[in-house]
Amino acid sequence: MVTLIDPARGVSSVADLAALNRTTGGPAGGGGDESAQMRTVTYRDALYEALAEEMARDPAVILMGEDLVHAGGAFGVSGDLRARFGPGRVLQTPISENGFVGAAVGAAMTGLRPVVEIMFMDFITLAMDQLANHAGKVHYMYAGQYSVPMVVRTPAGAGRGYGASHSQSLEGLLVQLPGIKVVAPNDPADAKGLLKSAIRDDNPVIFVENKLLYPKKGLLPENSSPIPLGQARVRREGRDISLVSYGRMLDLSLEAAALLDGEGVECEVIDLRTLKPLDVPSLVESVERTGRMVFVEAGTGGIGAEVCTQVLERCFGYLQGRVVRVAARDVPIPSAGPLEQRVIPQVADILDGCLECLRRD
């Protein structure tokens, strides 16, 4: 739990730490499209809409994955799309990730735009040969004669008691693959807009969907447009700490920021949205203003290592405190709820990270 008193330094609260360290400079702007015509949808429904609209717009878009016929995929995202568009465009696959991801790579090379669903992110490891040695390299190995415009959607993360082999967040592995983009939206509007852009992109894109976000509700503009990949978003303005995250951990970061605000500490909360390519200029702009950064992720640290290194290389002279990473513990994820919560970052862990960042000793 976070400690709001630091006896060794004679500081009475986090607010005092912030005042002691605070630098000048106004908050950055940010946010999405504030359209007058808005409606409330779930994250799951926003993804469904993106798939349906892109399939209607472009006959080259096809879906591939397990249990698409009766269940609409493991978490029901594709719904009735097979009934709407037919079995020629919504293909039920065998339980063979390496096989159907390889088939999608070949389909993309011939001009189709496959959207592949991996039932759980843990199983993406079975398709790593196709992703690492084929999807990401074909365009370069053949001097641009071929592209692989495919999307791999995959539910990720813990929190539902699914155990060690159905709960992982493996983005840290995937961002190391040259030629592949990685996207991880937090809310329904970003989920829809970013999925549309991913489908239209001529590169392979891995689209990470945290399981706990599927029922999340949010406002979605009517006639929403694609959101460009590679652009971070400021979700909350502040001048004391740049609190950076993505996906499900962004919700916890916003909760922590609200608690710290009550203690007089302003966190600028940045949603990466795209993990590769990173929006490094937005990170640098924020950290140069706040002088501090805390990064939060559901995995064991791979994304945070890259983000923190990028910031340290560019902002070292601006830093007024330690760059802090908050990540999962380096153990397999348990099934039992209390143990699962000990492994995955919680709001208290983020508060501790922010307190550590504010200290100057």
| Tens-digit pLDDT profile for residues 43-65 | 999 999 999 999 999 999 999 99
Do 288 and 316 contact (CB within 8 A), yes or no?
Answer: no
Nearest to 149 by CA among 198, 210, 94, 220: 198
Minimum mean pLDDT range among 29-33, 67-71, 135-139, 251-255 = 29-33
* 224 burial via Cβ count (<10 Å: 0-12, 13-18, 19+): buried
Under 8 Å between Cβ of 258 and 118? no
Cα(327)–Cα(146) distance, integer angstroms: 38
Q: 83 φ, ψ to 5°? A: -65, -35
The pLDDT, as a whole number, for residue 29 is 37
Structure token pair of residue 277: 């390519």
In whole angstroms, give the CA distance from residue 49 to residue 247: 19
Q: Residue 8: its pLDDT value, please?
A: 32
For residues 172 and 298, what is the distance between their CA atoms, to the nearest angstrom?
10
Q: Is the pLDDT of residue 23 over 50?
A: no
Residues 275 and 246: their CA atoms lie apart, in Å, by 8
Catalytic residues: 97, 166
Q: Is 19 helix (H, G, I), strand (E, B) or coil?
A: helix
124: nearest Cα among 230, 212, 209? 209
Residue 353 has pLDDT above 60, yes or no: yes
pLDDT of 14 > 70? The answer is: no
Better pLDDT: 221 or 1: 221
Q: Are 195 and 206 in contact (CB under 8 A)?
A: no
Rounded-to-integer distance, Cα 330 and Cα 14, Å: 29
Ordered structural domains, the chain, with CATH: 14-30+230-358 (3.40.50.920), 38-221 (3.40.50.970)
Q: Which stretches within 201-295 are classed as H helix?
A: 247-261, 280-290
- Kindly report the pTM of this predicted structure: 0.90
Strand partners, 242: 268, 293
pLDDT at 30: 40
Strand pairing report for 38-42 and 217-221: antiparallel
Count the Cβ atoms, other than its own, within 10 Å of residue 276: 22
Q: Which band of pLDDT confidence, cut at 50, 70 and 90, is reported for residue 239? A: very high
pLDDT digits (tens, 9 = 90+) for 182-200: 999 999 999 999 999 999 9
